[in-house]
Structure 1
Amino acid sequence: MYKPFKLVLLLILIPVAQLLAQEPVYTNSIGMEFVLIKPGSMVVGRFQPTVGKYQPSQAEAGKPTPKVLPPSAYEVAEKMAQEAALPGFTVQIDRPYYIGKFEVTQEQWAEVMGRNPAFFQGDKVEGDSKRHPVESISWKEAQAFIRKLNKLDKAHVYRLPTEFEWEYAARAGAQDDIPWGEAREMAVLSGTTTSPIGQKQPNAWGLYDMLGNVWEWVHDYYNEKIFADPVPPRTGKQHVLKGASFTGDAKNATYMTHAAGPGNGFDVGLRLVMEVKPN
């Protein structure tokens, strides 16, 4: 009676077991490094704004005492915060996957595509621009790169991450938004150009530049909102960008919200997911 069920379950588990048996970090034939991400869950779209109360210090000699807002103003602010609050929703990542340890570089893009479309190369950056992330690419161009890479490497399947896969990897187990101090340590921010990959601190799962440097394309369509929906839209005008870029500062560096392409162009790149083909 239960044999068919057991057979189906076994067929499902074989590819998963194969993936879990792989090395935690894998390097492909063109030097792209991938980190194994194991299943788990996270809460997406949780927004709990708070209201701070101004506490004036003692007035200096000869200066008037600062005015304090009346209690009614704080009551209005508290009500607005409660109305804006969102509980979020739980996302379950059921299968393991590999995601790029770094953003795709100009050198890697050129090796696959035969050209380098990046704006920040040559005399526009310090040092060797080949280690800078590729940018100035559209979502369709990212798909063209993926198709060619899949033809070069028959053992794996490359694709853009879903928004939830990207955010789960970026959070690296964190439940709340990243503190600004940590963002400054981990993200390439407040600059005038991209930076070579891997110059800042990695996150807890060993991934670099998930925040800052370049925005990263993901698979999903944009839903015209600040946060993702539990079920991503099947169609849309633009695709989602995650992670912010070098043009932002710490308050822009968050994995919780999302934006839409095409962005500025010169600060939009990609990071790939790699799957192991089942035998």
Structure 2
Amino acid sequence: MKLKKLFLILIALVAFSSALTAVSDYEYLLGKFGPLMEARKAEREAAEREEKEKRRLAEEERIVAEKRAELIKNAEHIKSIDAYFVKIPNQNYSMMMTEVTQKQWQAVMGDNPSKVKGDDLPVKNVTWIDAVVFCNKLSEKEGLKPCYSYEETSSVEKWKFLKEALWKWSNKKWKKFNGSLVCDSNANGYRLPTVEEWQYAAKGGQDYKYSGSDNLDEVGWYKENSEKTQPVAQKKPNGYGLYDMSGNVWEWCWDSFSNEYRYRCGGSWANDAYYCGVGNKYWSSAISTNNNLGFRIVRSSSKK
């Protein structure tokens, strides 16, 4: 009997010793491989987050692609360009959701000044004066009251300066032109936005650096992701449903900087990200053209 008790005690001591050894071994292994295990866990979690972000972006791209496809599909059946406009909340104007395309320009003006052609590409190589003329011609085409008048007439066919070589104009002629060209913002026709209107709409009711995101790659074409202009409405829109307000092409605005200079906003495919910020504005001569300079248009909400 005593021998049996002694044997059980011996077994217990061996088990206890083994347990202590196991705990010691575990602590040793934990100390040696714990940091590696934590690092691998962190890598797995980072990979899962990255995959989740990829799926989110893919879903956003799918939605944008569907909206753009619907926009293009409906374009053939839309008789009025006004169908492309969205009302800007808490403001008295509506804005075109995309930059004016080459197809839209050609339907109104009968030509295409863009060197790189494409129906869905934004029209470019247009002067500020060209954009003003487009607005009045489009208004007349749709039976609306033109916003712009020069020497008391809104009919662009009667604007004498269009028959002259603008680049030969003297400073005196420019001053006369700037003083005589009038914009009636209450007319129900189309016009260029003011800088204030453009920047308000570009923010989209959001607090982002660019129009619709702090990540320019999500919403705009610029120097780092494009070597030319791109078809409109491929990127994510901003909070108001406006596309390409950061990048793709600069957009003419109504405001005068001084004499013949007019403001432009938005940056372009040829610019660094800095120039595509919603708060930036620059200027160019009203008769200058460039392969990264276009425009979009607005209508006052007083339209009837």
TM-score, normalised relative to structure 2: 0.55
Give the equivalent residue in structure 2 for 1:239. 262
Q: Does residue 112 in structure 1 map to residue 102 in structure 2?
A: no
Question: 1:218 corresponds to which residue?
Answer: 253
Deviation, structure 1 residue 250: 2.2
Rounded Cα–Cα distance in structure 2 between residues aligned with 1:180 and 1:97: 23
Q: Give aligned pairs, total.
A: 179
28-37 vs 149-158, greater mean Cα deviation: 28-37
Which of 283, 289, 302 pairs up with 1:260?
Answer: 283
Unaligned 5+ segments in structure 1 are 1-26, 40-94, 122-128, 223-234
**Map of 1:52-67 to 2, 5 A cutoff?**
none
RMSD, aligned α-carbons: 2.2
Q: Distance in 1 between matches of 2:218 and 2:122?
A: 19
Aligned 8 A contact 1:157 1:277 in 2? no
- CA distance in 2 between partners of 1:110 and 1:33 (Å): 17
Which aligned segments of 4 or more residues in structure 1 are displaced greater than 4 angstroms? Answer: 276-279
Separation in structure 2 between the aligned mates of residue 278 and residue 108 of structure 1, nearest angstrom? 21
| Contact 2:120 2:231 survives alignment (8 Å) | yes
Instruction: Write 1 or 2 for the structure with the bigger share of helix.
Output: 2
Say which SS state the counterpart of residue 215 (structure 2) adopts: helix
Say if 2:299 is the partner of 1:248: no
In the TM superposition, residue 253 of structure 1 has moved relative to its aligned partner by 1.6
Structure 1 contact 180–251 (Cα < 8 Å) conserved: no
Aligned twin of 1:33: 84
C-alpha change, 1:96 and 1:248, in structure 2 (3 Å) is same
TM-aligned CA distance change 1:241 to 1:276, over 3 Å: same
**What aligned pairs does 1:31-180 form with structure 2 within 5 A after superposition?**
33-39=84-90, 95-121=91-117, 129-155=118-144, 156-175=188-207, 177-178=209-210
What is the deviation of 1:214? Answer: 0.3
* Counterpart code for 1:242: C
Q: Indicate conservation of the 8 Å contact 1:36/1:98, yes or no.
A: yes
Cα offset, 1:256, TM superposition: 0.7
- Give the partner amino acid of 1:157: G
Q: 1:37 to 1:30 in 2, by over 3 A?
A: closer
Q: For each residue in 1:190-212, what CA deviation from the matched residue of structure 2 results, as whole angstroms up to 9, or x when unmatched?
A: 22210000011101111000010
Distance (Å, rounded) in 2 between the aligned partners of 1:180 and 1:274: 26
- Aligned partner of 2:234 in structure 1 is 199
2: CA distance, partners of 1:99 / 1:31: 9
- Which stretch shows the higher mean deviation, 191-200 or 149-158? 149-158
Counterparts of 1:136 and 1:218, CA distance in 2? 15
Instruction: State the alpha-carbon separation in 1 of the partners of residues 234 and 283 from structure 2.
Output: 26
Alpha-carbon distance between aligned partners in 1 of 2:83 and 2:268, rounded to the nearest angstrom: 21
CA deviation map 1:69-98 (0-9, x unaligned): xxxxxxxxxxxxxxxxxxxxxxxxxx4211
Paired residue type of 2:100 = V
The share of aligned pairs that are identical, in percent, is 34
TM-score (norm 1): 0.59
